[in-house]
Structure 1
């Protein structure tokens, strides 16, 4: 009889662990979904609490191929003062999640695809200086008698997101964050002919166009990027930029995103 009780107890423990990991997986996915919904409507002050606490060792964010942020304050600088000008639209839609929670329940890894669009008004002085002229829409496009090209940008964009999460005080928080751009194209141009121009624009590290339409670039990174996104090019074969999450016991067994 004691053996049967021991077997039943072990099955209950295993079931509880499995249920907890399933619950954690859903919570992790919700954290990133909340991040993206808030990012789309420029609510960065609400994004900040989704990150690990100040002083957490190993915090890391990389948004482009230019550099990496490895300090809490520099990561938060990206989420500080981002404006929401009239007419600006960001709609990043994430899909195809692959999420794995560590067996020890302390960390998790997630990988997503993103398809979206970005648009807004740029100050005419940016054309050909802050960013290449081909970033913007052609001048001849008009809506209701107003010029939509020349000083406006409207892009399709496709990315990958790779994140590591850390459980702090029983809550899942973003620990490592990577945005890996795959391709983009202006509304009036396809992604193949735009590919070569996109390489140049991505290296310029543009963050956004502000309320005054002037280009605002990313905060100065803490260190140069050693891992880079393989942005689409018509003469290159596509590959995975990072390994997909697989089941693991503890974070030391994995590659940091």
Structure 2
């Protein structure tokens, strides 16, 4: 009987350990699904100019470490400056954007409190610009001819995203956001020749094009970027940026 009891106790202990591990794996898989849904929801809302619905996807005001960066013009480290991008974003007549993301690499930290993800995005951006407004931009940004008396801009665009997530009040939220524009090209031109003449654009703090194609610029950044990033350049080699996340126990064990 003692031997049987010992064997049974060992078996029960083994089952408990296996159950604990199964629960851990199920929790991590569920977290990954929730994070992917969160970012995909962000993209669907962004494509439809529904930015007021994006604001609740971010961490709440006062959360330490919040950050957003889009260009080399600077980064935003205060809740209000981060959210300003989403407030009153215009939805001009005739404007269309379609960004769709692929190739996610998502790693939930071992403690289950934070997560990191990277995505590749491809799609198009297009709209109509009043001819007087168009004079302020290089002619190569526009397509030949006019539609409804306005200049046409129709671009293919490719980007990469690197996003950190925080579990807050039991839900995953966007915490740190980085967009890397990789390349773009007008519909009529290849991306290599366009990149050659458009290298200066990434230093600008352009936020988006508003009514009649008027450029709307970001507010002054909270701080400079720690290191510059540059889109595709026909005279430069490609680099691995951002780095895909790897398994990690806590957020402090990773690069930001």
TM-score range, shorter chain: over 0.9
Q: Could you report, residue by residue, the CA deviation over 1:133-172 in whole angstroms, capped at 9, with x for unpaired residues?
A: 322223xx355xx456xx3211100000000000001100
Instruction: Say if 1:142 and 1:73 are closer, same or farther in 2 by CA, change over 3 A.
Output: closer
Measured on the aligned residues, the alpha-carbon RMSD in Å equals: 1.4
Q: List alignment gaps of at least 5 residues for structure 1.
A: none
> Could you tell me whether the CA contact under 8 Å between 1:208 and 1:216 is conserved in 2?
yes
> Could you tell me whether the CA contact under 8 Å between 2:202 and 2:230 is conserved in 1?
no
Write the distance in 2 (CA, Å) between the matches of 1:22 and 1:55. Answer: 29
> Could you tell me whether the CA contact under 8 Å between 2:71 and 2:204 is conserved in 1?
no
**Which protein is bigger by CA-based radius of gyration?**
2
> Could you tell me whether the CA contact under 8 Å between 1:122 and 1:215 is conserved in 2?
no
Instruction: Say if 1:211 and 1:128 are closer, same or farther in 2 by CA, change over 3 A.
Output: closer
Aligned equivalent of 2:35: 28
> Could you tell me whether the CA contact under 8 Å between 2:72 and 2:204 is conserved in 1?
no
Deviation at 1:90, TM superposition (A): 0.6
Given candidates 135, 142, 157, the residue that maps to 1:136 is: 142
> Could you tell me whether the CA contact under 8 Å between 1:121 and 1:209 is conserved in 2?
no
Aligned equivalent of 2:230: 230
> Could you tell me whether the CA contact under 8 Å between 2:99 and 2:121 is conserved in 1?
yes
Q: Could you report, residue by residue, the CA deviation over 1:104-160 in whole angstroms, capped at 9, with x for unpaired residues?
A: 10000000000010011223233353x32322223xx355xx456xx3211100000
Write the distance in 1 (CA, Å) between the matches of 2:158 and 2:152. Answer: 20
Write the distance in 2 (CA, Å) between the matches of 1:215 and 1:100. Answer: 37
1:74 aligns with 2:84: no
**Which 10-residue stretch deviates more, 178-187 or 197-206?**
197-206
Aligned equivalent of 1:154: 154
How many equivalent residue pairs? 249
Given candidates 49, 64, 73, the residue that maps to 2:71 is: 64
> Could you tell me whether the CA contact under 8 Å between 1:118 and 1:157 is conserved in 2?
yes
Aligned equivalent of 1:53: 60
> TM-score w.r.t. structure 1 length?
0.93
Aligned equivalent of 2:95: 88
